Every structure is written in structure tokens, then in C-alpha cells.
């Protein structure tokens, strides 16, 4: 039996960022990961840094998210990303070359103008351009673009480097990381949690569930019913090209994003979903979504129609029914925290810091009460009783 001040379930970017924040504050931290760290959603995301207001829908999304409510967190996250490479002493390939959010219809143009007002109120710098002005600023844009908002703070980072860098920094601060160690049970015992794994048992006053699409499964082990709607999105990469696109390009109405990464590949993502996730969390690319994603991207950026596609892949996401983030303490389950949901990669530095502050009973940088898990959870006596054996490891 081993004790820690905090046990984190999930070694993706949220778990890694939280581990560093807690370890830097002097707490003993254990990170448990059922597979290889950064292998699932965190390592398969597009790596966008969404600082201006995001699209409200993507194909197949039935409920629009409240992009206005996200703006304070996006601005704060942008400030933290500016410091990330220095803090972690690592090259994360952070590129803040700015981004265009484009619109093709009168209704979408109206959305751009409205979101620009929200951004001004939040202290974010954006500029509204008509179609001709947008094409003058970015000649690669196609003729269907009627307007765009420009944000100089948008960008991206390499998702294959970010979580590993956070984990390395956490280890330098004495955090322990155990890969291929699934959690098989959670039980509340007095003022502490008993965390069961095939490798042993761990006691802790604080459990942090950042297990991505498996958030609900981990909560169930603790007797918590968490309403989640995990999905998988699909990414596509072209062969390497000479430098063509220096900015992030997104679509206000369709969820599409395109950028050229440092290796030279152009990456199309965030739009059409992949096939439905299977029981064990595996997700597969969809030929229908391939067609939809590439058609969207080539319409906005016609230069893409002449490029050869290299590969496509699917990545699982911890989506919520209302499409909004999830972060905070679970009511009725003392010491149990969750985080995940919408744009977790962008929010990772902020959510890691926020969880640390909540656990230390400090004031978070931004108000996260709108994202509280109490809107999606049900707890009861089951949270204080042992978990039956034989549950799916997470």
C-alpha cells in the first residue's frame, strides 16, 4: 500500500499539466495511464490553439456550444501558452502566427460580427474583414469566403511534444508516472480514496479524473454517473510542401481547421467526425468524412485541391452533451475532481493550473463555475461503497 497527496488518472495533456502544477507546489503526485502516455486524444488532436471565439457547430453536432462563455478561458490560455516553452524548457513547436475565422453566408458573417463584439469585451484582439480584404491579407482564400475575423494570437503546438514535455517537467519535480497501469477500482474509505490497479493499491485524499473519453467509466468506478457523449474527430495530412500557409484557418459554421505545420505537411482537421467510437475506445477514420473534410478545405483554400493526401487518422474526444468543458470538484464525492471536454488541448495549461488551485483552495485565474461537473453528474451512496471487480479498466 502506497500513499500520495494526489492520484491523477490519465497521462494525456490535461493529466500532464495538472501533475506539473501539483508537483511544483510540493505535493506527492502519481499519474496512472492505462496505456502509453499521450497515445489517445491528446496525441491525435490537431494541436490548434483557439484563442478567438470558436465555431458553434461542426458536422454531426446537434447542440451548439456557447462560444461567448469560453472567451475568458481562451484569453487566459493564450497568455499561458506564451510562457509554456520557457516554463517547460522544451521546444513544443508553438507557433503564434495568427488565424483567420472565415464565413461563407450572410448568417455566418453576422456570427463573425457578433463574436468580434464579444472578443472586444473580453480583451481579445480581433479584426473583421470583408471577403476582398480577407483575400488581400491571405490570397490563398477562395472566392466563396465573404468575410473573416483575424486574430493575431491564434496558432498551434505539436501535440506529440506537449504532454511528454509536461510529464518530463513533472518528473523533475518528483511526480511519478506509471504507464500501462489501468485503474480497476475506486473506493472511498473515510477521508481517502483507495485506487486499485493490477500493480497495486494507492491511497490518496485527492483523485483527479482526466481520462478523456473514459471520464465516465472512471467516474462509474467511484459510484458517480457522469453524462458524457464521447466522439472521435478525423484529421488529414498532405505530403510535405514548400511553405504555403503561415496562419491557422478555421470556419465559423463548419468546424474545419487548416494549417501548415513545421514539418511542411498541411493538416486538415476538426470538421467532419470519424466513425463512432467502439466500446474499448478505438475509433476509425471514415471515408465519408474524408470526402467531406477535404471538400470543405479545398473550397476555402483551393490550393489544397492540387496536393496529395498522405494519411488520415481518428482521435477520441471527451465530449459533453452541451459541448462545453468540464472542470471542478464532483459534488457528493469529496476529493474527486474531473476535467475534460471541449478544446482541452487549448485549455490544458489553464486547466492544469486551475485544478491545482482548486485542490489547494486558491482562487482560479478565471471563473470556471459555468463548467462545473454538477450539471452532468449524479452521486449518491454508491460513491462510498466498494466497486465490484470486473469493470472495464481505464
3-state secondary structure of 248: strand
pLDDT at 261: 92
In the chain (394 residues long), the average pLDDT of successive 10-residue segments reads 92 97 98 91 79 77 83 96 97 96 96 95 95 98 98 95 98 98 96 96 98 92 89 86 95 89 88 58 65 85 92 81 93 96 93 98 96 82 36 34
Burial 189-198 (b: 16+ CB within 10 A, else e): eeebbbbbbe
pLDDT at 381: 35
| Secondary structure element (H or E) that encloses residue 220, with its range | helix 215-221
Q: Provide the CATH number for the domain formed by 95-154+230-317 in this structure.
A: 3.30.9.10
Domain ranges of the chain: 2-43+160-228+322-377, 95-154+230-317
Grid look-up 471542478 returns 328
Q: What Cα–Cα distance (Å) separates residue 26 from each residue in 7, 207, 348, 351, 360?
A: 14, 17, 20, 18, 11
pLDDT at 384: 38
Q: What is the DSSP pairing of strand 99-103 with strand 48-49?
A: unpaired
CB contact at 8 A, 379 and 224: yes
- Alpha-carbon Rg for the chain, nearest whole angstrom, is 21
Nearest to 49 by CA among 245, 212, 209, 247: 247
pLDDT at 380: 41
Q: What is the DSSP pairing of strand 2-3 with strand 200-204?
A: parallel
What does the DSSP assignment read for 261-291?
-TTS-EEEESSSB-SPPPTTS-----HHHHH
3-state secondary structure of 386: coil
Phi, psi of 342 (to 5 degrees): -50, 130
CB contact at 8 A, 282 and 268: no
Calpha distance 159→351 (Å, rounded) = 16
Task: Indicate if 95-154+230-317 has the same CATH topology as 2-43+160-228+322-377.
Answer: no
Alpha helical stretches, state H, the chain: 13-24, 41-44, 67-88, 106-122, 131-137, 159-172, 215-221, 287-300, 344-359
Count CA within 13 A, CB hemisphere, residue 63.
10
C-alpha cell at 11: 497521462
Alpha helical stretches, state H, 283-392: 287-300, 344-359
CATH class of 2-43+160-228+322-377: alpha beta
C-alpha cell at 10: 490519465
| Cα dihedral 109/113/118/124 (nearest 10) | 100
pLDDT at 374: 93
pLDDT at 286: 64
Phi, psi of 78 (to 5 degrees): -60, -40
Amino acid at each position: 500500500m502506497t500513499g500520495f497527496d494526489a492520484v491523477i488518472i490519465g497521462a494525456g495533456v490535461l493529466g500532464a499539466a495538472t501533475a506539473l502544477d501539483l508537483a511544483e507546489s510540493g505535493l506527492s503526485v502519481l499519474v496512472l495511464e492505462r496505456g502509453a502516455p499521450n497515445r489517445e486524444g491528446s496525441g491525435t488532436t490537431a494541436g490548434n490553439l483557439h484563442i478567438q471565439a470558436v465555431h458553434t457547430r461542426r458536422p454531426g453536432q446537434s447542440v451548439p456550444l456557447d462560444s461567448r462563455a469560453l472567451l475568458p478561458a481562451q484569453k487566459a490560455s493564450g497568455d499561458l501558452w506564451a510562457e509554456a516553452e520557457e516554463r517547460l524548457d522544451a521546444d513544443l513547436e508553438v507557433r503564434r502566427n495568427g488565424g483567420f475565422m472565415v464565413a461563407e453566408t450572410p448568417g455566418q458573417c453576422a456570427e463573425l460580427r457578433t463574436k468580434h463584439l464579444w472578443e472586444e469585451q473580453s480583451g481579445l484582439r480581433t479584426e473583421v474583414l470583408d471577403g476582398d480584404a480577407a483575400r488581400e491579407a491571405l490570397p490563398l482564400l477562395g472566392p466563396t469566403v465573404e468575410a473573416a475575423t483575424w486574430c493575431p494570437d491564434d496558432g498551434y503546438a505539436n501535440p506529440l511534444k506537449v504532454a511528454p514535455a509536461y510529464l518530463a517537467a513533472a518528473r523533475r519535480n518528483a511526480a511519478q508516472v506509471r504507464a500501462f497501469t489501468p485503474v480497476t477500482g475506486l473506493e472511498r474509505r473515510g477521508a481517502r480514496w483507495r485506487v486499485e490497479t493490477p500493480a497495486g493499491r494507492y491511497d490518496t485524499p485527492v483523485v483527479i479524473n482526466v481520462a478523456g473519453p473514459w471520464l465516465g467509466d472512471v467516474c462509474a468506478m467511484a459510484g458517480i454517473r457522469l453524462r458524457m457523449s464521447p466522439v472521435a474527430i478525423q484529421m488529414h495530412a498532405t505530403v510535405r510542401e514548400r511553405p504555403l500557409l503561415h496562419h491557422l484557418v478555421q470556419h465559423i459554421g463548419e468546424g474545419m481547421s487548416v494549417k501548415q505545420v513545421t514539418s511542411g505537411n498541411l493538416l486538415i482537421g476538426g470538421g467532419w467526425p470519424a466513425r463512432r467510437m467502439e466500446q474499448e475506445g478505438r475509433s476509425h477514420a471514415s471515408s465519408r468524412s474524408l470526402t467531406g473534410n477535404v471538400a470543405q478545405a479545398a473550397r476555402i483554400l483551393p490550393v489544397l485541391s492540387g496536393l496529395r493526401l498522405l494519411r488520415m487518422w481518428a482521435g477520441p474526444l471527451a465530449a459533453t452533451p452541451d459541448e462545453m468543458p468540464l472542470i471542478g470538484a464532483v459534488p457528493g464525492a469529496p476529493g474527486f475532481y474531473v476535467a475534460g471536454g471541449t478544446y482541452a488541448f487549448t485549455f490544458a495549461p489553464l486547466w492544469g493550473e486551475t485544478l491545482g488551485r482548486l485542490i489547494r483552495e486558491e482562487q482560479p485565474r478565471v471563473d470556471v463555475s459555468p463548467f462545473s461537473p454538477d450539471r452532468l453528474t449524479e452521486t449518491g451512496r454508491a460513491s462510498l461503497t466498494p466497486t465490484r471487480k470486473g469493470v472495464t479498466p481505464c
